[in-house]
């Protein structure tokens, strides 16, 4: 497995203070500086840390508590709690090893849920643990807070690119129909880390992905300058990652990151990824840009329907190998 560099985000200018970006802070010189920093970090990394995000600490603590409680259950208890734990969307039980062509073994215990819009019937992603009893309530509270934060950051990103503030956000309307999915990944301590991946390399099929991890256990790696770089951050800080949908809407000015997860050594690791998407029927297309910016655009993107793009992405991902998959699926949305 390739060696990679080490880049703890604490040591790099990658943390964005959301409090300085909020409306009402316009007259403060720190806001302009934070917007400029946001533009630079977003274009360079495709992700950034989020501090002073405004999500109440009890909400975050509640998420960690219910997730830890669920994954402390035995496999039999988890299956009984979910009813369909071994379904297509939730088939890895933490002991399974999946082998994909030209890839190392993959080890992860995964739970995926569709949080919004609410659906009474099980559509494959509406899988909610019944133990602990407050799991769904806690996760829905977190999703509501995260939706507000993602909306703020979509506006700030547009402003940082000197675009109209709502140019990205309007594609997520009506907000009650925008999609929020949550994927909880539990990586058990690995006895053979040199032979195993936590998650294979991929880009997210989302507008934005908000990532929370427990206990500062490093595992996420991002491909930057054709080298894998390990990123880490403190547990009270969230990480925002760009998905393919935002890359399309920004005409490539904000690129989705190519990333993977390495297995933890000597301890387990838990992360919670929240994916924020426009409604599946919405058409997205590149936002208009000024002539002065056109020289920086490498390729033009075209109008696509969100649901159609995601279907293509997941179909392509199931056929891809580690040597051919780097941002290949997004060519579907290129003119």
Q: What is the pLDDT of residues 124-179, one digit of tens each?
A: 455 788 899 999 999 999 999 999 999 999 999 999 999 999 999 999 998 889 99
Q: What is the pLDDT of residue 232?
A: 80
Q: What is the pLDDT of residues 70-121, one digit of tens each?
A: 988 888 888 778 755 444 444 433 333 333 344 445 456 788 888 988 765 5
Residue 210 has pLDDT above 80, yes or no: yes
Residue 182 has pLDDT above 90, yes or no: yes
Q: What is the pLDDT of residues 55-73, one digit of tens each?
A: 999 999 999 999 999 988 8
Residue 1 has pLDDT above 80, yes or no: no
Which residues neighbour 301 within 8 Å (Cβ) at sequence distance 6 or greater? 247, 248, 251, 252, 285, 286, 333, 334, 335
3-state class (DSSP) for residue 9: helix
Helices 57-71 and 75-82, axial angle in degrees (round to 10): 120
Structure tokens at 40: 């630079």
Average of per-residue pLDDT across 284-297: 69
Is 257:34 a contact under the CB 8 Å cutoff?
no
Backbone phi and psi for residue 206, each to the nearest 5 degrees, phi listed first: -145, 175
Which has more confidence, 163 or 216? Answer: 163
Residue 324 has pLDDT above 60, yes or no: no
Distances (CA, A) of 238 to 205, 223, 250, 333: 19, 19, 23, 29
Is 98:117 a contact under the CB 8 Å cutoff?
no
Instruction: List the beta bridge partners of residue 93.
Output: 109
Q: What is the pTM of this model?
A: 0.86
Residue 310 has pLDDT above 80, yes or no: yes
Which has more confidence, 315 or 248? Answer: 248
- Only one residue has tokens 């560099």, namely 5
CB atoms within 10 A of CB 120: 6
Distances (CA, A) of 277 to 33, 177, 282, 284: 28, 10, 10, 11
Q: Compute CA 301 distance to the chain's CA centroid, rounded to the nearest angstrom.
A: 22
Residue among 110, 108, 144, 143 at smallest CA distance from 127: 110
DSSP state of 288: P
The CA R_g of the chain, rounded to the nearest whole Å, is 19
Average of per-residue pLDDT across 250-257: 93
Residue 297 burial by Cβ neighbours in a 10 Å radius (0-12, 13-18, 19+): middle
Residue among 247, 234, 237, 243 at smallest CA distance from 179: 243
Residue among 171, 165, 189 at smallest CA distance from 23: 165
Helices 135-160 and 29-45, axial angle in degrees (round to 10): 100
Cα(first)–Cα(last) distance of the chain, in Å?
35
Neighbouring C-alpha atoms within 13 Å toward the C-beta of 70: 33
Q: What is the mean pLDDT of the chain?
A: 80
Which pLDDT band holds residue 328 (cuts at 50, 70, 90)? confident
Vertex 179: Cα angle to 176 and 181 (nearest 5): 135
Which pLDDT band holds residue 335 (cuts at 50, 70, 90)? confident
């Amino acid at each position: 497995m390739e060696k990679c560099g080490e880049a703890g985000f604490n040591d790099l200018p990658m943390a964005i203070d959301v409090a300085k970006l909020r409306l009402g802070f316009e007259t403060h010189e720190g806001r302009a500086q934070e917007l400029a920093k946001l533009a630079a970090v977003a274009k360079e990394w495709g992700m950034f840390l989020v501090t002073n995000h405004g999500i109440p600490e009890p909400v975050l603590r509640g998420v960690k508590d219910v997730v830890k409680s669920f994954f402390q259950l035995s496999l039999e208890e988890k299956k009984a709690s979910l009813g369909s734990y071994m379904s297509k969307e939730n088939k890895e039980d933490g002991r399974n090893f999946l082998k994909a062509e030209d890839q190392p073994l993959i080890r992860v215990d995964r739970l995926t849920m569709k949080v919004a819009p609410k659906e009474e019937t099980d559509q494959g992603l509406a899988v909610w643990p019944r133990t602990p009893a407050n799991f769904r309530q806690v996760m829905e509270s977190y999703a509501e807070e995260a939706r507000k934060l993602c909306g703020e950051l979509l506006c700030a990103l547009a402003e940082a690119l000197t675009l109209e503030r709502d140019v990205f956000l309007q594609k997520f309307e009506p907000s009650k129909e925008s999609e929020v999915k949550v994927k909880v990944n539990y990586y058990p301590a690995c006895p053979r880390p040199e032979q195993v991946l936590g998650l294979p390399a991929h880009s997210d099929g989302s507008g934005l992905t908000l990532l929370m991890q427990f206990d500062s256990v490093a595992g996420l790696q991002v491909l930057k300058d054709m080298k894998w770089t390990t990123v880490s951050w403190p547990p009270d800080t969230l990480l925002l990652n760009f998905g393919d949908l935002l890359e399309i809407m920004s005409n490539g000015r904000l690129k989705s990151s190519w990333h993977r997860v390495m297995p933890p050594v000597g301890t387990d690791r838990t992360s919670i990824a929240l994916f924020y998407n426009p409604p599946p029927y919405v058409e997205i297309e590149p936002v208009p840009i000024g002539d002065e910016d056109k020289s920086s655009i490498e390729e033009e993107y075209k109008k696509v329907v969100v649901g159609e793009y995601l279907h293509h992405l997941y179909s392509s991902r199931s056929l891809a190998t580690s040597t051919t998959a780097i941002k290949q699926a997004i060519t579907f949305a290129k003119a």
